[in-house]
Amino acid sequence: MTEEDGLVRVLIADDQALVRAGFRALLDAQPGIAVVGEAKDGAEAARLAEALAPDVVLMDIRMPGVDGLEATRRITASARLAATRVVILTTFDLDEYVFEAIRVGASGFLVKDTEPVELVQAVRVVARGDALLSPGVTRRLIAEFAGQLRRPAPTVELDVLTDREREVVALVAAGLSNAEIGARLVVSPATAKTHVSRAMAKVGARDRAQLVVLAYETGLVRPRSG
């Protein structure tokens, strides 16, 4: 977000021109939000993101050529774009491509039939650096596909965490907010947030969604059966 004016700069990536036009019209009509670019495929999205450094990228997951997953991977791997947040747009909320996108650094996802007011709110929330999705939705998606990972992640990532930080990561994966984690551990929400932030920094997670992924990948928590 541009510090001097609080403007949220958005890049839209979708292979359908009408979809891009609709999102642009909606977002440009909102105070404090400006669409700074449009991309028709993932390759263009990655190039424009590098050039424009937007605050938020609305990324269609399924596009011809370079898809949204690969574009997300390129964006989240860029040091220049460390502050850029990717929101995946998908037709179905339980989509393995969405899971992989969250795994490589997307901040969350929205289904394409999301109400306009919810889309606008999502852009603002992500631009602030807050969690976009209810933890339960992210957890449900990740639990659905966690058992289908092509290869297990090395558990050494958890070795850098203190026992308390592991406990906090497990609670994040269970869908608890900072306030709920604080109540569970009998600490303040601010202290809980500090623990979450430190855990994210130690394991190199961009946001809470990636902490949830890590918790499942390493076996710290396991998908519920049934």
Model pLDDT for residues 82-128, shown as the tens digit of each residue: 899 999 888 876 667 777 888 888 888 888 888 899 899 889 988 88
Q: Is the pLDDT of residue 192 over 90?
A: yes
Alpha carbons 76 and 149: distance in angstroms, whole number? 20
Per-residue pLDDT, 169: 92
Per-residue pLDDT, 76: 92
Band the pLDDT of 226: cuts 50, 70, 90: very low
Average pLDDT over residues 77-82: 92
Range from 1-10, 77-86, 213-222 that averages highest in pLDDT: 77-86
Model pLDDT for residues 2-28, shown as the tens digit of each residue: 444 689 999 999 999 999 999 999 999
Q: What is the pTM of this model?
A: 0.76
The residue that leads in pLDDT, 214 or 40, is 40
Beta bridge partners of 58: 12, 87
DSSP string, 29-95: TSTTEEEEEEESSHHHHHHHHHHH--SEEEEES--SSS-HHHHHHHHHT-GGGTT-EEEEEES-SS-
In contact, 80 and 53? CB cutoff 8 Å: yes
Per-residue pLDDT, 12: 97
Q: Is the pLDDT of residue 36 over 90?
A: yes
Model pLDDT for residues 136-157, shown as the tens digit of each residue: 566 666 666 666 654 555 555 7
Instruction: Quote the crossing angle between the two packed helices 178-185 and 189-203, to the nearest 10°.
Output: 110
Per-residue pLDDT, 78: 94
Handedness of CA 21, 58, 125, 78 (dihedral sign): negative
